[in-house]
Amino acid sequence: MAKKLRINKRRRYVAPVGGAFLLLALVGLVALIITSITLTNRILDNRSDKELLENIIRPVLMWDPPPFENPADVNPVQLLHFSMWTALMNSEYPFNENQEMEVPASDLDAAAARLFGPGAVELQHRSFGD
């Protein structure tokens, strides 16, 4: 009978210790799954790229042009409008004494190069009304 008492005293702590280990393993498994899902979402998320593309293409979409493959196929006045709005959205230009805004041609050329690539289009600079 004394032998049975010793065995019971030793085994009395086995179940709680085993339960604690199972609980810790379950918490670790849940944490691993949540971390994997979070990291996968961060890797696959391209929201910042989409926002950058939206900011680049917005001046073109404002004028709602017909679809085109090559910028040379687009009306030159529209190309000038696209470039002008790209330049205006990225910096501020002062008004002159007649309340007219003068945008340097070099800024329009740089904006066209950002939109369509360097050397893709040659702008025909001119002034236009309203």
pLDDT for 128 equals: 73
pLDDT over 60 (residue 37): yes
Locate tokens 């899902």: which residue?
37
| Domain-wise residue ranges, the chain | 2-44, 47-116
User: Would you state the pLDDT for residue 3?
Assistant: 59
Which of 108, 123, 126 is closest to 72 using CA atoms? Answer: 123
pTM of the entire structure?
0.60
Token pair, residue 43, equals 């890797």
Give tens-digit pLDDT for 56-80.
889 888 888 888 888 888 888 888 8
Average pLDDT in the 95-115 region?
88
- Tell me the pLDDT band of 9, cut-offs 50, 70 and 90: low
- For the chain, what is the total number of helices (H) and then of strands (E)? 5, 0
CA distance 31 to 51: 31
SS3 77: helix
Q: How far is CA 41 from the centre of its chain?
A: 14
Which DSSP category does 70 fall into?
A: S
- The pair of three-digit structure tokens given for residue 55, joined into one six-digit string: 């900011």
For residue 6, the model assigns a pLDDT of 61
pLDDT confidence tier of residue 118, bands split at 50, 70 and 90: confident
Specify the 3-state DSSP secondary structure of 1.
Answer: coil
Of the candidates 65, 104, 64, 111, the one whose C-alpha atom is nearest the C-alpha of residue 85 is 111
Kindly state the average pLDDT of the residues 7-23.
Answer: 83
Asked if pLDDT for residue 28 goes beyond 90, the answer is yes
